[in-house]
Structure 1
């Protein structure tokens, strides 16, 4: 990418239900794929490279992330930001743009991420709420979920709370904050009477880690969570993965000091 000396940083939001995740897949709608098509159309060429700050899974939304573009020639993006967003059709939005040093590495500059998972146990859950919320039945009390969430805080081995990959050897991750609370973030005509949110912040997460933690706070006892954290390499039954539609990458914090 040294042959493309100009680089720009965009803040990005997108609605995950429209896409099969971030990364390009042949024949599938993805965030990266749509961004490439729109940049190609608006710029009038394909001599660029895109890198995202997070490779979200299929169905997962993003309130605030980042994407970096590398170009061979300098571009003033401010006048064409509206054209980019018009062609992104509201499913993806580029919120801001700034030129940045060629030495800036987006992947290595992610300082922390905050995910929020939205859910409800309403008996009258309306299907129109399903793009933003997961319908769940008979989960733990709010107090128990709060107690469970707090157990994840700290630097621990999360092998028992992720989808195992043959190429992954290090399962230690640090959780800076984890909590559960009632929320009105998606208050609308079809919203359930009560909506809950699990919020978790850390420098990085394993594959399906957040969604497996969500299932654990719903249905596990504190003792079950403690046992898996204390003996992460035990012969545990795999934890079910919560549905993707309730998960949002809520905030991404970058270290912009070069």
Structure 2
């Protein structure tokens, strides 16, 4: 018999600058660690297990992600959702909750993800704007960045645009859409006059892939990107990784029939 037969699916958002990433780390503030502490406190017991749909890096925020929680006893979460959010102190928020079959596999059900990366090349960039934006200089023109972004669309071997770790042998990923545009997101009195957004949608991403793509879009030529995509096993110079503080997991699409 399953020790935790009841399962619940939560939609969540969080501000990544307050955390050292998703995964629990000893004596470090993480999203997973805080979620576990708060849910245990509100429920009044330790008997639960938690799985996230994405393991974001330190500093990366999330507009829409998902968490699956497994429990020994059935719980009506709707009346206590406000209490959970109150104890999460505004850094993390449960947006919704629904019961989900115990055999639902959250990791395998992720159909696609959309990331947005916000940045500005303004010379008068205010430090307060760095909460959501990255400050850059001497980057390509908007037209060139748009052309660079379009090169990533399709199925490619992205080993030249990721941080290789562990025993990973499959570096092929599919990018469904990649574009750059001006935006008024996060607009405040401290915002620069122009804010740009790189938006990329794919079926899956490698470690640091989006942030390395961003750097290439900023500074590489069309040929530099094409060469790395067409000959990924060549010993290329490592592509630098753009800062984490401009990156947001914007949308996660699930296949709820999985």
Query: In structure 1, what is the equivalent of residue 87 of structure 2?
Result: 87
Following the alignment from structure 2 to structure 1, what is the Cα–Cα distance between the partners of residues 19 and 45? 24
Structure 2: gaps (5+ residues):
none
Query: In structure 2, what is the equivalent of residue 60 of structure 1?
Result: 60
Superposed CA deviations along residues 189-225 of structure 1, whole A, max 9, x for unmatched, are 1000000000000011000000000000000000000
Structure 1: gaps (5+ residues):
none
Shift of 1:166: 3.5
Count of equivalent residues: 258
Query: In structure 2, what is the equivalent of residue 163 of structure 1?
Result: 163
Following the alignment from structure 1 to structure 2, what is the Cα–Cα distance between the partners of residues 70 and 195? 41
Give the TM-score taking structure 1 as reference length. 0.99
Following the alignment from structure 1 to structure 2, what is the Cα–Cα distance between the partners of residues 166 and 80? 40
Superposed CA deviations along residues 151-182 of structure 1, whole A, max 9, x for unmatched, are 00000100000001131111000000000000
Query: Is 1:75 paired with 2:87?
Result: no
Query: In structure 2, what is the equivalent of residue 254 of structure 1?
Result: 254
Give the TM-score taking structure 2 as reference length. 0.99
SS of the residue 1:185 aligns to: coil
Superposed CA deviations along residues 36-68 of structure 1, whole A, max 9, x for unmatched, are 110111000010000000000000000000000
Following the alignment from structure 1 to structure 2, what is the Cα–Cα distance between the partners of residues 254 and 185? 25
Query: In structure 2, what is the equivalent of residue 201 of structure 1?
Result: 201
Query: In structure 1, what is the equivalent of residue 184 of structure 2?
Result: 184
Superposed CA deviations along residues 87-113 of structure 1, whole A, max 9, x for unmatched, are 000000000000011111000000000
RMSD: 0.8
Following the alignment from structure 2 to structure 1, what is the Cα–Cα distance between the partners of residues 184 and 49? 38
